[in-house]
Every structure is written in structure tokens, then in C-alpha cells.
Amino acid sequence: MKKFGLIGKDISYSFSRKFFQDKFNQLQIDAVYDNFDIENIQEFKTVLRKNKQLKGLNVTIPYKESIIPFLDELSAEAQQIKAVNTIKFVDNRLIGYNTDAFGFMKSLFPILEKQHSHALILGKGGASKAVADALKSMGIDYRFVSRNPQHNDFAYAELDEKIIHEHPLIINCTPLGTHPKVKESPNIPYNFLKPSHLLYDLVYNPAITEFLAKGKIRGCSIYNGKKMLEYQAERAWQIWNE
């Protein structure tokens, strides 16, 4: 029996296990998909040692960057983004890929309006790097917003009416608002949001996060990360079977 799974922390909520188990059932494939909830990245070695039949893994928060030193090779896209969310096992070698950029781009494209030419990316983790790569390829200017700003980043405290108005696309790449801490949201001045804004949250559980709800009150367009996850998961499945 083939085995696949998800590496992450506090991932009992994740949609991946059901998504892939349903796919295996539908395709009548003899395979299982397990969650590997680890406290630190060093435990990844134990996962590998105890699961010799693994053929592929997904990687989620907070290990998309720290997993890289454990891999033998990176795809060109993963090298460029410097984050991995998919691992393929080939002849005892671990190859890292990034399908987040693909999933984000495919989900964002149909909902973009002409005014969404400048974006704020909230957070600087592995997912934000994939989002930045996708925005760059789509010709959308972006600035990161971070608790520890560097170079050209904004600090959360810097965000004012002018900055919010100049960036009508705002993407939450932080885990704030994820179940069970559903009342959390990024600390931005929501009172400056306009109906022309599009708020995109990579979080998908709950479907309407506090971040999206605050945007909806201001008349903004809102979109969660469910479609992105489906698209990136399908791409991961293709990679595992290439």
C-alpha cells in the first residue's frame, strides 16, 4: 500500500487528509493519507524512519522553509520561492516542490479586477513567498507587511489611510483566524477599507475568517483559500504521479 501525508503543526483541521482519501477511493487506489503533526522539524527524521512506504508528502505551516535542509533536491520553482509544500520520493531521494504559487494564481485570476494592481502581503512565512512569486508573474506590485520589517517591508504600525488606499488587494498569509482561534485577525486599519478592495485569506477554516468578515462589513470583495488548496493539492497529485 502506498502512503502519503501532511507534515505540519496543529493540523487536525486540515482538509488534505479527506481530500486525498476521497481521491484514492474515487480512483480505487490502494493508498492512505496520514497527518504527521510534529512539534519541531527535527521530528521529520522520525516520520521518515517509521514510514518507509511514503511516496509523497505535503508540507504546511510552520515548516515550509525549515523542511528544505532535509531534502536532496529542489525544483526550479521551489528554489526560486525558497519554500516547499510538496515532497516527492524518488529512489530514496526527497525532492521538494512548491505548488502554492500555482494554486494561488489559478484561484486569484478569475476574481481580479483592473484596480487590483497593487497588493499588501500580510506575513512573511513560506506561503507569503509563494504568493509574492505568483503576484510578480501576474504583473502585480506588492509590499510585505511584517512584525519584523526588513528592507522595503511595511510594519503593521505604519499602515495608514494612504497605504491602504494605494493597495486595493490585501492577502492574509498569516495563520491568524485559523480554527480554533477564529477571533484573531491581522492588525490592519480595517476602517480605511473601501468596496474597491479585495481581501484574500489563505485561511479556509472557518470559511469567513475575522479578517474577511471585517472586510465584508466595509463592502469589500472577499475570498478564502479553499480553491487555492484544491488547486495546489491537484498539482501535488500530478507531481507524485509524473
**What is the distance between the alpha carbons of residues 128 and 122, in angstroms, rounded to a whole number?**
8
With cell 516542490, the residue in question is: 97
Q: Give CA separation, 47 vs 39, 41, 57, 58, 64, in Å.
A: 12, 10, 11, 13, 16
Buried b (16+ CB within 10 A) or exposed e, 91-126: eeebbbbbbbbbbbbbbbeeeeeeebebbbbbbbbb
Strand order in the sheet with 221-224: 154-155, 141-146, 118-122, 169-172, 198-201, 221-224
Catalytic option among 64, 88, 124, 214: 64
C-alpha closest to that of 134 among 188, 98, 162, 183: 98
Residue 216 is a catalytic residue? no
Catalytic machinery residues: 64
